[in-house]
Structure 1
Amino acid sequence: MNKPGKGRWIRPTVQITFLMIVLLTAVGKGLKEAGFSLPFFEEASLHAICPFGGVETLYSLFADGRLIQKIHSASVILMLAVLVISLLFGPAFCGWICPFGTFQEYIGKIGKRLLGKRYNNLVPGKLDSILRYLRYGVLALVLYNTAVTAKLVFQNADPYYALFNMFSNEVAVTAYIALAVIAALSLVAERPFCKYACPYGAVLGLFNLVRIFKIKRNAATCTGCKSCDRSCPMNIEVSKRTTVYNHQCISCLQCTSENGCVRENTVALQAGRQK
């Protein structure tokens, strides 16, 4: 069996580290506008450290050879780095690095205390399965409108942008409303923005079909306890699969931990085909 607590601290530490980097970047910008200084972070830009910006500017980059307004070349570099990670491990960016995903998780901890076992299980299955494809519609709208206008049109409705730009006067009211809605929904469902609306999650989710290291379940040693299902924040029924190809998987590896499976190597991250 897996050792209790084995590696449990690793993912939260990585998540908090990246959350603090983004938060300090946001605070540094706000302090600079107010006439104060936060060494190193005062010159950093939230747009420069957002890999989705690289996706948004792709059309303009190939069509006109230039980046759209506010996007930095660093975003393109980060986009390529995340694509390499995704080819290897799937959407690990979503499950380990994305600060807005971490924000939703910590709001969700409050929801778990309030709702208990009902948390993350209130949306009817059929409705949930339909809603999960909405993010591809959001992605299409963002890419089309960004290509047409050469501007960051999603910024005015982006809850991530609203959360980390509270220290500036650049945030539209609609973005704050979106943030409030996502925060409220996070009290009921795990990572609602990731599941239903995130355009970057839609892109990275496709890599679950081609990733080299896949999450696999050994049917021979599986007891059918469904603990892996209960541990999955994205409500994926891991217990019914030998290999997880679901476009919603965020590679958080909760199903492979002792919380997800008490039998060692029954649910694991592996390369190659399932035997």
Structure 2
Amino acid sequence: MTAELHTLTGAYALHALDPDEQAEFERHLAACPACAQEVRELSATAARLGSALTLVPPDGFKESVLRRIDSVRQEPPRTSAGPAAAGASRRGRTVSNWALAACLAAVAALGATTVWQHLEARDARQDARQAQQATDQVADVLAAPDARTRSARLADGASGTVVVSEERDKAVFVAASMARPPSGKVYQLWFDDDGTMRPAGLMDPGRTAQTVLMDGAVGDASGMGVTVEPAGGSRHPTSQPVALLPLPA
């Protein structure tokens, strides 16, 4: 089975594993520096590809604007004043003003589209950078030479594993087969500092298997826990823990 796990680095980097495979592979990463390095490299490549995202205006947008501008006649040359000439001049000014307004509208629309493209691309790049940073941090803890693990069976057939690197002063929690929290609730992670629970981040309520880099330094914590809290989390636990694990020595 270990040999097969070595072949899953690409699928893991692209989030193509099912929840059980993902949890098993992430446990494998804690003991396989070669796979952890390959995952970092593949994830970086995927993030760079994602950051290359570009967006285009709706189909036919530019052609439609150009057709409307081309259909407007150029303003005739101004001549000496007179009733007919004055009327033509007024009509010319009306047409000219409409053409100017159309051009300005086109420029504004194209400018807005360009800004929209820029913002969308910037957000995509930012999301990719954040995802890459989180992936790198998780992989760094899992592959740390001093990484230690502690696993436990949780309620309803779920399982949890905490991986701690004293050198990095960080911890990662790996969950599998977790029941979804009630609507409007979220699983919150905690460090146990001699009986005082310190917030350590939130889990994704839409996923039953996930790997979470716990917020903050491990410090002097002797354990960690999981509780069900209102969306957005709490400063202190408001429910009985669904999981309590001592941190590996």
Normalising by structure 1, we get a TM-score of 0.22
The TM-score normalised by the length of structure 2 is 0.23
Structure 1 or 2: more helix by fraction: 1
Q: Which has the higher strand share?
A: 2
Larger-Rg structure: 2
